[in-house]
C-alpha cells in the first residue's frame, strides 16, 4: 500500500509537490507529453502512471536486494578521518 | 581577453573494510593506490620541489612545516597514470586528480574514469585481504558523523584578475549553484540545526568566507595560491566547497557553469551586485531548502532566491556567449542546459529526478519510504544515503539507477574506458602521459609542471612544463615520434 508521508514539522517540505508517484506523472505531463492531444491524454496518463509505478516497484525491490545488511550497524561503523 | 582555461578536479574517496574491526584507513588507502595495475606500476617520485601549498593568494606565506615524504614513502603513496592523472594517498584517503583538461566534457570523462580506476584498485586490493574482508569505496563527502573529506575543482585563471573581484563576484555564484550541484544528504552535521534531508553534503562544514584552511574552519573561498604553472601568468583557483557528484549531468553542469562564470569574471563581464549579507548563513539556508524558494538577503537590501541569483548569472552568460564567438565551444550547450534546469527548479525541483544528484537521491528515498512504510530515522535510509555513492557497479545505488535508465548520461562507457588509458590531447597532460607510456623506465620524477629523467649517467634532467596549454599532441607528437629514448628526447628538446 502506498501512503503519502508529510513533514509537518518542516515547513520547507510542504512545498515539495509529490516527491513520489504523483510527482512522476506531473513530470511526464509537463516535459514529455506537452504537445500531445489533450483528449487522448487522460487514458495515456493512467497507463503511463501505472507503468511508472511498476518500474518504481521493481527498482525499489532491486534496492532491497543490493542494500547492505544490518544497515544500522553498518552506518554506525562508517567513520572517516577528515581529509583534504 | 581570456580564450582558454585549464581545469581539473581532485576527488578524495571515503573507504572502509567490511568485517575488519581494526580497520586502518591509511594502510587501506596505501593498499588501494598500489593495487591498480600493480604489475605495470611505475617506480617514480612525485616531485615535491615544485609544490608550495602554504602560499596564500592574498600575498602571505605561512611558516607551518610541510612534510615532504622520503623517497620510499613517496613512491608508495604517489602514482602517476598514463592518462596524465595522479592517484595517491592524501592523509587518510585515496585521492584521484584528473589530468589538466581544456573543457568540461574532458574533465567529466576523466573524473568518471577515476571512479572506475578506484573500483579496479578495490578488486586488486581485495585479493590481498584475508577471506571475508573487502574494501568498500564511496565517492561522497561525509561520514554522516561530522567528518568531511573533499572534492576540489581547479580553474586556472589569469593572474591579472584581482583576487578581491573574484571573492565578490564568485561567492554568490558558489552559494546559489548548490541547487543544481548538491549530492544530497540525509540529516545535518557539525553542530547545525536538524533537517531530514538537505541539498549539499558539504555546506554544514563551511564556517568562514575566505581563508587558506581546507580541514578546519573551512572557507567558502580558499586562498591557496599554488598555480602548478607560470606564477607570473596564472592563478589556480582552488574551489573546495563543491560536493563530489555521481551523476554525469550534475558534474557537467557544475563544472561547466562554474568555468563559464569564472571566464566572465576574468573578462570583467559580471557587473550585477549580488553580494550577500551573510554568505555562510545563506550557504546553509540554501542547502536546507529543497523547494528552492527561500529568499536570501543581499548586502544591498534586496532579497533573491538561489534560482533568481542563478538567472542573473545565466542572463549575463547569454550575453557573454553571444558577444564572444571565440569562447569555449562547450559554452552554448552549457547555456541551454543551465537555463532548462533553472526553469525546472523554479517550477518543481522534483522534475530533475534523472539529472541532479540531490533530486535523484531524494526521489529514490521518498519512493522507498512510501513503499516500505519507513521514515527518515530508518537506518536503511541512512544506508541508502551512503550506498548511493558506492563505486561498485553491482552495489552502488547510483549505478542501479543508471542501469535502469533512471540517470541521464552525458558520456558513453567507451568514452570513460578510453579515458582510463589515454591522456587529453590538448594540454600538457598529453606530454606527461605519452612520456609515461614511452619512456617509463627512465622517468625519475613527475609533477604537474615538470618531468625528470634518469639517463643513467650524469645528473637528473628535469623538463619544466610551466605552460599547461603546451605539450599538446599538436606540439609534441612529432618530437615524441623521433625520440627513440629519453636521452633522444632530452637532446631533441635542447638542440
pLDDT per residue as tens digits for the range B40-54: 666 778 888 766 666
Give chain B's mean pLDDT.
Answer: 94
Least Cα separation, residue A71 to chain B (angstroms): 5
Domain-located, residue A2: no
Task: Look up the domain containing A53 and give its range.
Answer: 20-31+40-77
pLDDT band at B371 (very low <50, low <70, confident <90, very high): very high
Q: How many domains does chain A have?
A: 1
Interchain contact, B366 vs A12, CB within 8 Å? no
Spatial separation of the C-alpha atoms in residues B322 and B332, rounded to whole Å: 9
Q: B93 Cβ partners below 8 Å, 6+ apart?
A: A80, A81, A83, B12, B13, B14, B15, B25, B29, B149
Q: Using only the alpha carbons of chain A, give its radius of gyration.
A: 19
Domain assignment of residue A12, yes or no: no
Beta strands in B192-282 (DSSP E): 197-198, 206-211, 218-222, 234-239
Which pLDDT band, with edges at 50, 70 and 90, does B68 fall under? low
Average pLDDT for residues B312-341, to the nearest whole number? 97
Cβ–Cβ < 8 Å for B255, B7: yes
Q: Which of residues 269-298 of B touch A (CB under 8 A)?
A: 288-291, 293-294
Question: pLDDT band for position B377 (50/70/90)?
Answer: very high
β-pair type (B45-46, B443-447) = parallel
Region B125-148: mean pLDDT is: 96
CB B307 within 8 A of CB B269: no
pLDDT of A6 strictly over 60: no
At residue B58 the predicted structure's pLDDT band, cuts being 50, 70 and 90, is low
Residue with C-alpha cell 544500522? Answer: A72
pLDDT of B222 > 60? The answer is yes
| Structural domain contains residue A60 | yes
How confident is the model over B349-369, as a mean pLDDT?
Answer: 98
Residue A11 domain-assigned? Answer: no
In chain A, which residues have their Cβ closer than 8 Å to the Cβ of B94?
none
B73 compared with B191, residue with greater pLDDT: B191
Closest CA to B309 of B338, B269, B336: B338
ipTM of the complex, rounded to two decimals? 0.91
Show residues of chain B in contact with A4, CB under 8 Å.
Answer: 370
Q: Is the pLDDT of residue B470 over 90?
A: yes
Domain assignment present for residue A84? The answer is no
User: What would you measure as the largest C-alpha separation in chain B, in angstroms?
Assistant: 74
- Round to whole Å and give the CA distance between B387 and A47: 32
What structural domains does chain B harbor? 7-418 (3.30.590), 425-494 (no CATH)
- What part of B 311-340 touches A (C-beta under 8 Å)? none
CA distances from B455 to B117, B458, B459, B488 (A): 31, 7, 8, 10
What is the per-residue pLDDT for B72? 80
Residue A9 has pLDDT above 50, yes or no: no
Residues of B in contact with A66 (CB under 8 A): 387, 394-395, 397, 400
Per-residue pLDDT tens digits for B76-108: 889 999 999 999 999 899 999 999 999 999 999
Supply the residues of B annotated as catalytic.
90
Chain A, 34 to 63: residues with Cβ < 8 Å from chain B are: 55-60, 62-63
DSSP B83-134: TS-EEEEETTEEEEEPPPBSSHHHHHHHHHHHHHHHHHHHHHHHTTSPTT-E
In the DSSP assignment, the letter for residue B423 is: P
Q: Which of A14-18, B30-34, B82-86, B362-366 has the lowest mean pLDDT?
A: A14-18
Question: What average pLDDT does the segment B192-207 reach?
Answer: 97
- The span from the CA of B312 to the CA of B481, in Å, is 49
Q: Is B380 on the interface with A (CB under 8 A)?
A: yes
**Residue B323: pLDDT over 70:** yes
- Is residue A25 predicted with pLDDT exceeding 50? no
* pLDDT number for residue A24: 38
Q: Which residues of A touch B368 (CB under 8 A)?
A: 60, 63
In a domain, A69, yes or no: yes
What is residue B407's predicted lDDT score, i.e. its pLDDT? 98
Q: How far is A40 from chain B (nearest CA, A)?
A: 23
Of B348, B366, B380, the CB nearest to A67: B380
For residue A14, pLDDT over 50 is answered with: no
| Least confident residue range of B274-278, B406-410, B442-446 | B442-446
Structural domain includes residue A64: yes
Closest Cβ opposite residue A82 in set B15, B148, B369: B148
Question: What's the pLDDT at A48?
Answer: 87
B116 burial level (CB within 10 Å; 0-12, 13-18, 19+): middle
Across the interface, whether the CB atoms of A66 and B400 are under 8 A apart is answered yes
Amino acid at each position: 500500500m502506498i501512503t503519502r508521508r508529510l513533514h509537518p514539522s518542516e515547513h520547507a517540505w510542504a512545498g515539495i509537490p509529490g516527491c513520489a508517484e504523483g510527482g512522476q506523472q506531473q513530470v511526464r505531463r509537463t516535459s514529455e507529453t506537452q504537445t500531445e492531444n489533450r483528449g487522448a491524454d487522460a487514458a495515456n496518463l493512467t497507463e503511463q502512471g501505472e507503468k511508472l509505478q511498476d518500474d518504481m516497484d521493481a527498482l525499489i525491490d532491486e534496492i532491497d536486494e543490493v542494500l547492505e545488511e544490518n544497515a544500522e550497524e553498518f552506518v554506525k561503523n562508517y567513520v572517516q578521518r577528515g581529509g583534504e | 581577453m581570456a580564450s582558454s582555461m585549464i581545469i581539473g578536479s581532485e576527488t578524495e574517496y571515503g573507504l572502509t573494510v567490511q568485517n575488519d574491526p581494526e580497520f586502518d584507513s591509511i594502510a587501506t588507502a596505501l593498499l588501494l593506490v598500489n593495487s591498480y595495475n600493480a604489475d605495470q606500476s611505475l617506480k617514480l617520485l612525485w616531485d615535491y620541489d615544485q609544490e608550495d601549498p602554504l602560499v596564500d593568494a592574498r600575498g602571505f606565506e605561512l611558516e607551518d612545516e610541510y612534510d615532504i615524504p622520503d623517497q620510499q614513502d613517496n613512491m608508495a603513496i604517489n602514482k602517476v597514470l598514463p592518462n596524465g592523472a595522479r592517484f595517491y594517498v592524501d592523509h587518510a584517503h585515496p585521492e584521484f586528480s584528473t589530468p589538466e583538461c581544456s573543457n568540461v566534457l574532458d574533465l567529466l570523462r576523466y573524473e568518471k574514469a577515476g571512479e572506475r580506476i578506484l573500483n579496479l584498485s578495490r578488486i586488486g586490493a581485495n585479493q590481498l585481504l584475508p577471506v571475508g574482508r573487502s574494501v568498500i569505496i564511496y565517492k561522497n563527502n561525509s561520514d554522516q558523523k561530522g567528518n568531511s573529506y573533499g572534492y576540489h575543482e581547479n580553474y586556472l585563471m589569469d593572474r591579472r584578475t584581482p583576487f578581491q573581484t573574484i571573492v565578490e563576484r564568485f561567492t554568490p555564484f558558489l552559494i546559489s549553484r548548490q541547487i543544481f550541484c548538491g549530492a544530497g544528504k540525509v540529516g545535518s552535521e557539525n553542530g547545525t540545526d536538524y533537517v531530514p534531508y538537505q541539498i549539499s553534503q558539504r555546506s554544514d562544514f563551511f564556517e568562514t568566507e575566505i581563508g587558506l584552511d581546507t580541514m578546519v574552519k573551512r572557507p567558502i573561498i580558499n586562498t591557496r595560491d599554488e598555480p602548478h604553472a607560470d606564477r607570473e601568468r596564472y592563478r589556480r583557483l582552488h574551489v573546495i566547497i563543491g560536493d563530489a557528484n555521481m551523476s554525469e549531468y550534475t558534474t557537467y553542469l557544475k563544472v561547466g557553469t562554474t568555468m563559464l562564470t569564472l571566464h566572465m569574471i576574468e573578462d570583467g563581464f559580471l557587473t550585477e551586485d549580488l553580494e550577500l549579507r551573510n554568505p555562510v548563513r545563506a550557504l546553509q539556508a540554501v542547502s536546507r531548502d529543497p523547494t528552492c524558494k527561500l529568499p536570501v538577503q543581499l548586502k544591498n537590501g534586496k532579497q533573491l532566491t538561489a534560482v533568481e541569483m542563478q538567472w542573473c548569472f545565466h542572463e549575463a552568460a547569454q550575453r557573454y556567449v553571444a558577444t564572444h564567438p571565440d569562447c569555449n565551444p562547450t559554452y552554448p550547450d552549457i547555456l541551454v542546459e543551465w537555463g532548462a534546469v533553472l526553469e525546472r527548479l523554479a517550477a518543481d525541483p522534483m522534475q530533475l529526478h534523472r539529472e541532479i544528484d540531490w533530486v535523484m537521491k531524494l526521489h529514490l528515498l521518498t519512493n522507498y519510504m512510501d513503499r516500505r512504510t519507513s521514515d527518515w530515522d530508518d537506518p536503511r535510509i541512512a544506508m541508502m544515503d551512503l550506498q548511493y555513492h558506492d563505486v561498485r557497479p553491482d552495489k552502488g545505488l547510483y549505478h542501479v539507477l543508471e542501469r535502469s535508465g533512471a540517470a541521464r548520461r552525458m558520456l558513453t562507457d567507451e568514452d570513460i574506458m578510453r579515458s582510463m588509458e589515454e591522456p587529453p590531447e590538448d594540454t600538457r597532460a598529453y606530454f606527461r602521459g605519452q612520456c609515461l607510456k614511452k619512456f617509463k623506465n627512465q622517468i625519475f620524477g613527475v609533477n604537474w609542471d615538470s618531468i625528470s629523467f634518469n639517463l643513467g649517467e650524469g645528473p637528473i634532467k628535469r623538463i619544466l612544463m610551466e605552460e599547461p596549454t603546451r605539450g599538446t599532441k599538436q606540439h609534441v607528437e612529432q618530437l615524441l615520434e623521433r625520440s627513440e629514448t629519453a636521452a633522444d628526447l632530452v637532446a631533441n628538446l635542447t638542440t
